[in-house]
Structure 1
């Protein structure tokens, strides 16, 4: 009996890992910045034999890179399998804030992510090639970036999330190299005003984006996230906002990303069944 149980356990172990999602690093090229940029691509285990996949793009925080999310929570590969989705770990430079910087031509990450990278993924992978098959989220700087890109490119993304996002940059004029991308707030207030997420809500079209965002109650970005939630509520913009125990930590994001993938899976199922 023990021998039988041992063989069964070994068989189950083998089958589990034989069907594991595939995690690859790919090299893309940005024409607008004239450089090679890496990305992490996770494809589900049945990718080769099944229908087109929806794609979730994940944006790292300041100081991170394209591998940040798989490092925070390696189990996201299992969720790619369970939901039959692709996950793309995006590299946005150390502190790009995912803008097309008006003062530094070497930081044109809005164009890279929403045009060049999306185009590369759609060209080289079996994806749903419209907004109903694309979602974008990120943490901290990447949370701002995801909201910023999705709001400005509602023809590209159908769903968006933010984890502990810096969704209003104006209270932090001396932090995270933002002045290097936009100029100082004192000298370029108009650039700061039009490049902060909280001031872009007027661009959101009815029923154009499925929105979720969250923040830990002990996070230094908590106040700006609550204010964003209140502004969306005042404007009757449908969204999910969650405040949970936690701070600006790896542990918080490792947990948060699971809920975002769940939210996006629900969106993909609903959006693509209605097509």
Structure 2
């Protein structure tokens, strides 16, 4: 083997070692919910430069209907690289396969708004070196999680400074007979006021211009497209700044795996502008 090949192999070996050494740390932790009297698994991703001597921003990333806490890291493992690139933690909680991130009036064991907006946030801030302020917190999700992220952020603007949705079910009334929502809120025909009150498209009156940094997107062929278009129009009418993108695609992991790259950049810019 000639000298050039030896040097090339040594450089390749060094590069691989460096990549391994600088990789984000992915862990699964057990968190507690006092409101539901239960423990829940949560994926926590620490960037490679994580240290207790520095405070890090946190992106809470929610799964969709029929999913669980591990969906994002299993389906889109590259989110660990996003944590490294943007020097932020990523936390992927469990919202139940059909919990919809509500505090359910039908089931006292489904209090996922309280769990994520308060209990989980407090747990993460207690156990990790975080920026324990809305300026250092963002929340995003796909489908059911897209609804959950906007819903929780709008209701808890003192906790989250930025929110994002990918193919979000932003008008739950369009799916009153689907996806188990009636298990959480009751039947639409019996409790219409609950559905009206908890539809994201009808919650934007709680927003003021620049009170929340918002980004959301949807595939043109997605069944949630109409609801997302309506949300965009209502935000425009109320002059609420936001980023909205329509791309080719539908309700698939291929779409969300691409979308998260743009949303992570949006949140990084938000975090950096808060310094």
Shorter-chain TM-score bucket reads over 0.9
SS at match of 2:274: helix
| 1:188 correspondence with 2:156 | no
Could you list the structure 1 runs, at least 4 aligned residues long, displaced by more than 2 angstroms after superposition: none
Are residue 135 (structure 1) and residue 148 (structure 2) matched?
no
1:171 aligned counterpart, secondary structure: helix
Distance 1:4 1:58 in 2: 42
Candidates 226, 234, 241, aligned match of 1:223: 226
- The separation in 2 between residues aligned to 1:11 and 1:206, in whole angstroms, is 49
1:36 maps to which residue? Answer: 39
1:261 aligns with 2:264: yes
CA distance in 2, matches of 1:75, 1:187: 44
> 1:49 Cα shift?
6.1
Deviation at 1:50, TM superposition (A): 5.2
CA contact (8 A) 1:72 1:253 kept: no
Question: Do 1:164 and 1:221's aligned partners in 2 also have CA atoms closer than 8 Å?
Answer: yes
The Cα offsets for residues 249-275 of structure 1, whole Å up to 9 and x where unpaired, read as 010000011111000000000012xxx
Alignment partner, residue 107 of structure 1? 110
Unaligned runs of 5+ in 2: none
1:270 & 1:37 partners in 2: Cα distance? 33
1:59 to 62, 70, 87: 62
Residue 138 of structure 1 deviates from its aligned partner by 0.2
Give distance in 1, aligned partners of 2:193 and 2:76: 38
The aligned residue for residue 151 of structure 1 is: 154
* Structure-1 separation of matches of 2:52 and 2:12: 27
Asked whether the 8 Å contact 2:52–2:128 carries over to 1, the reply is no
C-alpha distance in 1 between matches for 2:53 and 2:68: 30
Count of aligned pairs between the two proteins: 272
2:98 to 86, 95, 98: 95
Instruction: Tell me how far apart the structure 2 counterparts of residues 37 and 270 of structure 1 sit (CA, whole Å).
Output: 33
CA distance in structure 1 between the partners assigned to 2:227 and 2:246 by the alignment: 12
| TM-score computed with the length of structure 2 as normaliser | 0.98
Q: Give yes or no for contact 2:139–2:162 (8 Å, CA) kept in 1.
A: yes
1:25 equivalent among 17, 28, 42: 28
Q: Does 1:11 align with 2:17?
A: no
Gaps of 5+ in 1: none
Q: Report whether the alignment pairs 1:198 with 2:201.
A: yes
1:73 to 67, 73, 76: 76
Provide the C-alpha distance between the structure 1 equivalents of 2:40 and 2:54, rounded to a whole number of angstroms. 28
TM-score in terms of structure 1 length: 0.98
Measure the CA separation in 1 of the matches of 2:94 and 2:52. 29
TM-superposition CA deviations, 1:158-215 (whole Å, max 9, x none): 0000000000011111111100111100000000000110110000133210000000
Kindly report the root-mean-square deviation, in angstroms, between the aligned alpha carbons of the 2 structures.
Answer: 0.8
Q: CA deviation at 1:92?
A: 0.2
1:4 Cα deviation (Å)? 1.1
Distance 1:23 1:76 in 2: 10
**C-alpha contact 2:61 2:140 (8 A) present in aligned 1:** yes
